[in-house]
Amino acid sequence: MSTPQRVALVTGGSRGIGRAVAARLAADGLAVAVVYRSQQAEADAVVAEVVAAGGQALALRADVADETEVAAAFDAAEAAFGGVDVVVHAAGLMILQPVVDLDLDALDRMHRTNIRGTFVVDREAARRVRAGGAIINLSTSVTRLALPTYAAYAASKGAVDAISLVLAKELRGRDITVNAVAPGPTATELFLDGKDDATVERLAQANPMGRLGTPEDTAEVVSLLAGRGRWVNGQTVYVNGGMA
């Protein structure tokens, strides 16, 4: 009897870490639903790359904070591929401001995407993911690095850690793992936006490895958690090259 193909749904899958995760999981043999909010051309490009390499993929539009749109994305993935085994929630918003100057509208926007979005995606994942599956939420190492201007973003991602660890316990008996993956400074458009070369170099040299992370560094760990790493559950896994 052949083993049914496993299926992954990746939010934020059109760019940055999400894109690298989608590509890696496809290379691992999973069919991949690439969920995007506004970057359709980029999402279509990811799908084209996966298909050209012999894999299966489709692009699905959804605002991760909209429960109706997220449910529709899961419906479409199940209709196309037969089910969902792995959910990687990589969609996120980062706005950096000192607390004293914090724009509360910006705080609300991050709350909606990073916190409400995680609840919405994880709630649907908890209802749909098949036994033997995994739910993986993208967090950040700045929750403990405590870098200036990152308070609001780190607070929203601290919520992601809490949601992940609690959900792992709530899914007792389902054979579904739930973990958060917390990258350090990573060379993505999201991270590099607004930073001058000196700031980027300073952050790179603050790492014992002497460089920024790459999206592929994080995708390697997600691949483990999505596949053979079944004894890692209810954890925040820091993927940051040793930054303290």
56 lies in a domain? yes
Map tokens 């596949």 to a residue.
227
Model pLDDT, residue 2: 57
Check pLDDT > 70 for residue 83.
yes
Question: Strands 57-61 and 7-11, how do they pair?
Answer: unpaired
| pLDDT class of 3 with cuts at 50, 70, 90 | low
129 lies in a domain? yes
Which of 156-160, 198-202, 217-221 shows the lowest mean pLDDT across its residues? Answer: 198-202
Model pLDDT, residue 118: 98
Active-site residue 153, yes or no? Answer: yes
HSE of 31 in the Cβ direction (CA atoms, 13 Å)?
Answer: 18
Check pLDDT > 80 for residue 130.
yes
55 lies in a domain? yes
Closest CA to 81 of 64, 56, 60, 59: 56
1 lies in a domain? no
127 lies in a domain? yes
Residues 161, 200, 93, CA angle at the centre, nearest 5°? 35
Model pLDDT, residue 203: 80
Q: Which residues contact 34 (CB under 8 A, 6 or more apart)?
A: 10, 13, 14, 22, 43, 46, 47, 57, 58, 59, 60
Q: What is the mean pLDDT of the chain?
A: 94
2 lies in a domain? no
Model pLDDT, residue 187: 83
**Of 36, 150, 153, 238, which residue is the catalytic one?**
153
| pLDDT class of 185 with cuts at 50, 70, 90 | confident
| Averaged pLDDT for residues 190-205 | 79
| Averaged pLDDT for residues 184-197 | 79
For 140-157, the pLDDT digits (tens) are 999 998 889 999 999 999
206 lies in a domain? yes
* Number of domains observed in the structure of the chain: 1
Range of the domain at 83: 7-239
244 lies in a domain? no
Q: What is the CATH classification number for the domain harbouring 46?
A: 3.40.50.720
| pLDDT class of 206 with cuts at 50, 70, 90 | confident
